[in-house]
Amino acid sequence: MLAGCVPFTAAAQSLPAPNAQLASKELNGRVESLLKKMTLDEKIGQLVQFNGGYATGPGGTNLHNDELAAKGQVGSFLNIVGAEATNHYQHLAIEKSRLHIPILFGQDVIHGHRTTFPVPLAIAASWDPAAAELVAHYGATEARADGIPWVFSPMVDIARDPRWGRIIESNGEDPYLGSAMARAWVKGYQQDDLSKPDSAAVSVKHYAAYGAAIAGRDYNAVDMSEIALRQVYLEPYHAAVEAGAATLMSSFNSINGIPATANRHTLTDILRNEWGFDGFVVSDWGAVAELMNHSIGDGPTVARKALEAGVDMDMEGNLYGTVIADQVRSGKIPESVVSEAVRRILRVKFALGLFEHPYTTPGPAYDATPERRAAARKVAAETLVLLKNDPVEGVGVLLPFTSKAKKVALIGPLADNQRELLGAWAGNGDPKYVVTLRAALQERLGDRLLYAEGCGLLSGEDASVLNHVDFNRPMTADSHEPVPDDAKTIVEAVETAKKADVAILALGEPANWMEGEASSRATLGFTGAQEQLLEAIAATGKPIVLVVLAGRPLELKWAAGHVPAILEAWSPGIEAGHAVADVLFGDVNPSGKLPASLPRAVGQEPLYYAQMPTGRPARVDLSHFPRNAEEKFNSRYMDEDNSALFPFGWGLSYTRFTYAQPTLSRSVVPVAEVLASRGKSVVTVGVDVKNTGGVAGTEVVQLYIRNTAASVEQPVRELKGFARVTLAPGEQKHVEFPLGFDELNFWNAEIKQTVEPTTYKIWAGGSSLAKAETSLQIAE
């Protein structure tokens, strides 16, 4: 199922039509006849969702689930999992409630349901939409078997600031890559039929622009131009809607002063009127009630604003359930607004086949079968990014390992930590299934493997409470472990390293504590004493391979200057150890590419390759203090280069790829032809890529453009195509990228998508630094 050398571009991929099921006449007839029978209270019941299990937000409220289900006063539950538990409530709704409307059970399925794959940011690093599709399909199959036909995934928020902990759930910084991945996730979950027993409806989140929180602080306001909103941030949601997404989740943030959960512009004007979305919108957890904190009104006012803006279901807020009915009765809210929201929700319930098959047949207990493990291992290996592999004097390159290494010292708090390797927000995943790096390397090396934990993931008091954090329970006095003695364990690790020929350091940050929701950071270094550990091992002079295990770009500046080999391994899931070992030993040639830039310093954030031009560009990165006016009066930092430490699209291989100059099927295209080419191509860019190294490998060939003369300034580079290409040593392939309106347009000052006469610079290569160049003229 994973793509080998299938060129992928937006224009080449055929999109499923927006969900035909939701638009079907027969289905809508059933919705209308049911709607006619419903009382106002029954209608409002459909707009309400309650938490029924562990809390995934503050203040889980409902204690009367049985009663609400039996009275038809709850349209949906979240966090109730398993055939037995879901069937319990479903029986009450179907057998006791007047209209027998099934409950829709929803849950967060972020990177697999029970089989835990790498985190979404890692999957984006594969640049393989087929991998995302596969992971989504596993998630849907397993969730549905657990009574959950509705998954709160994919998160398609553009994330350009790794201080924001939720970058882990994203596809990274780029709208083109993000849109390709968004389509794939939707397709994998929903397939072409929501009612299939292995399909689940998605909830694309968090609409809109949640990832642009000011200063990377979660839940913070978003303030950006309408052009940036449209051209960058809305793109992946739009792609997901075009792929047939059945539901969307509104976000916590405000956008240019209007909270996203009461934002008519994004929720109705754009989503429904421009994009033709025909599913429903659920709020994020408590986001309707939290509108009061945004100071746009009291409870009844904010509930009315959210509903009228286009939020159909109130997640765990219970505001719709308590304040809408009175406003309808007093004429403040037309009943037709309520009915329309109900209609949208019922459509999805019918399309999922819940009226025909409301219950889930209990199946065998979950097991991480060899087939599941094989899928997790293959996907995980594809997500690893080789950042650096410089030769060491007298040894050569360290990777891939050969018999050169007699003894290997594996060191670091993430080397043998099942819980953290599973990754943040692993939902129903179980750490017990994780093969750690230590276990996998032991399989390969036996007693040639030495091990030392080195230090904790956190230091001092933070570390002593880490293992006891449970957001559903208050901390108690005994919720502590002894404060770790990092100084002592670092000395022990140094002794271990001294006995080995090479050291592998497995470092990062605590995924379950510092990544995901509400996990913003103001610094981006390794946590606790890990940097000290790294420096102490480096001081032994032993060659080091650093394996970075983190769901966000970390600041690796010291490491990049002192460590010869660095592998970015994210949070790889249940097959973590095997996948990392496959790459370290060369069974898998690494092919991952960064979906987000890695900074030199946190102060560069938000850092992304598609920067806007400036009148005073820094022509070169200067590592010294500016010496004259030419160097000083530029858009640059006094104390750091502008560039990323490792840029977007970056990733090495054990072989080398060489690019010829790209060619065009024609070099001049009339603007009228481009304007008429939506969904089509007008010119093809071709590039020859050759494997000039000694082993087979897969390269992600990337295509970038720059519009050099537009009425609104355009980014210095934008990704507009990519393809995974597998090449034997010495083999060459010709890769083609179609370009048309979809790739060449931009949003103008009148907020219209257009193309103007101009020249596009075009680059093809293996990262956003691609050098092989040509140019395309768009004539009057």
Q: Which residues are catalytic?
A: 284
Our CB check for ligand NOJ shows the closer of 249 and 685 to be 249
Give the position of tokens 């597998």. Answer: 726
Using DSSP, state whether 36 is helix, strand or coil: helix
Our CB check for ligand NOJ shows the closer of 165 and 662 to be 165
Least distance between ligand NOJ and beta carbon 538 (Å) = 39
Least distance between ligand NOJ and beta carbon 170 (Å) = 11
Q: How far apart are CA 161 and CA 239, in angstroms?
A: 22
Least distance between ligand NOJ and beta carbon 211 (Å) = 12
Q: How far apart are CA 62 and CA 65, in angstroms?
A: 7
Give the position of tokens 């029924």. Answer: 52
Chain residue at closest Cβ approach to ligand NOJ: 56
222, 254 in Cβ contact below 8 A?
Answer: yes
Task: Give the count of residues interacting with ligand NOJ (CB under 6 A).
Answer: 10
Our CB check for ligand NOJ shows the closer of 213 and 556 to be 213
Q: What is the 8-class DSSP label of residue 210?
A: G
Our CB check for ligand NOJ shows the closer of 253 and 442 to be 253
Least distance between ligand NOJ and beta carbon 18 (Å) = 23
Residues 138-177 close enough to bind ligand NOJ by CB under 6 A: 152
Least distance between ligand NOJ and beta carbon 57 (Å) = 5
Q: Name the strand (E) or helix (H) holding 718.
A: strand 718-727
547, 567 in Cβ contact below 8 A?
Answer: yes
- Is residue 593 at the binding interface for ligand NOJ, with CB under 6 A as the rule? no
Our CB check for ligand NOJ shows the closer of 230 and 521 to be 521
CA-to-CA dists, residue 429 to 105, 420, 433, 548, 640, angstroms? 18, 12, 8, 22, 41
Our CB check for ligand NOJ shows the closer of 235 and 517 to be 517
Least distance between ligand NOJ and beta carbon 182 (Å) = 15
Least distance between ligand NOJ and beta carbon 304 (Å) = 23
Using DSSP, state whether 410 is helix, strand or coil: strand
- Is residue 517 at the binding interface for ligand NOJ, with CB under 6 A as the rule? yes
The closest alpha carbon to 514, from 449, 463, 445, 564, belongs to 463
DSSP-H helix ranges across 405-524: 418-422, 437-445, 460-466, 486-498, 511-514
Write down how long the chain is.
Answer: 780
Instruction: Show the tokens assigned to 48.
Output: 């309400």
Our CB check for ligand NOJ shows the closer of 42 and 108 to be 108
Q: Name the strand (E) or helix (H) holding 254.
A: strand 254-255
The closest alpha carbon to 248, from 226, 267, 263, belongs to 267
Listed in sequence order, the residues at least 6 apart from 621 whose beta carbon sits closer than 8 Å to its beta carbon are: 641, 642, 643
Residues 51-110 close enough to bind ligand NOJ by CB under 6 A: 56-57, 78, 108
> Which residue among 142, 284, 290, 568 contacts ligand NOJ (CB under 6 A)?
284
Our CB check for ligand NOJ shows the closer of 147 and 766 to be 147
Q: What is the 8-class DSSP label of residue 757?
A: S
Q: How far apart are CA 272 and CA 278, in angstroms?
A: 7
Least distance between ligand NOJ and beta carbon 354 (Å) = 20
CA angle at 446 for the pair 443 and 452, rounded to the nearest 5°: 95
Residues 201-230 close enough to bind ligand NOJ by CB under 6 A: 205-206
- Is residue 551 at the binding interface for ligand NOJ, with CB under 6 A as the rule? no
172, 121 in Cβ contact below 8 A?
Answer: yes
According to DSSP, the β-strands at 544-549 and 565-568 are parallel
Least distance between ligand NOJ and beta carbon 505 (Å) = 32
String of contacts with ligand NOJ for each residue 398-437, x by CB under 6 A: ----------------------------------------
Q: How far apart are CA 356 and CA 339, in angstroms?
A: 23
Q: How far apart are CA 533 and CA 512, in angstroms?
A: 22
Least distance between ligand NOJ and beta carbon 526 (Å) = 27
Least distance between ligand NOJ and beta carbon 514 (Å) = 17
Instruction: Show the tokens assigned to 340.
Output: 């329309």
Cis, bond preceding 206 (omega within 30 deg of 0): yes
CB atoms within 10 A of CB 331: 8
Listed in sequence order, the residues at least 6 apart from 570 whose beta carbon sits closer than 8 Å to its beta carbon are: 118, 119, 121, 122, 125, 383, 384, 423, 549, 550, 551
Q: Name the strand (E) or helix (H) holding 41.
A: helix 40-46
CB atoms within 10 A of CB 14: 7
> Which residue among 285, 570, 646, 654 contacts ligand NOJ (CB under 6 A)?
285
Cis, bond preceding 88 (omega within 30 deg of 0): no
Our CB check for ligand NOJ shows the closer of 120 and 553 to be 120
Our CB check for ligand NOJ shows the closer of 106 and 412 to be 106
Our CB check for ligand NOJ shows the closer of 251 and 655 to be 251
Q: Which residues bind ligand NOJ (CB under 6 A)?
A: 56-57, 78, 108, 152, 205-206, 284-285, 517
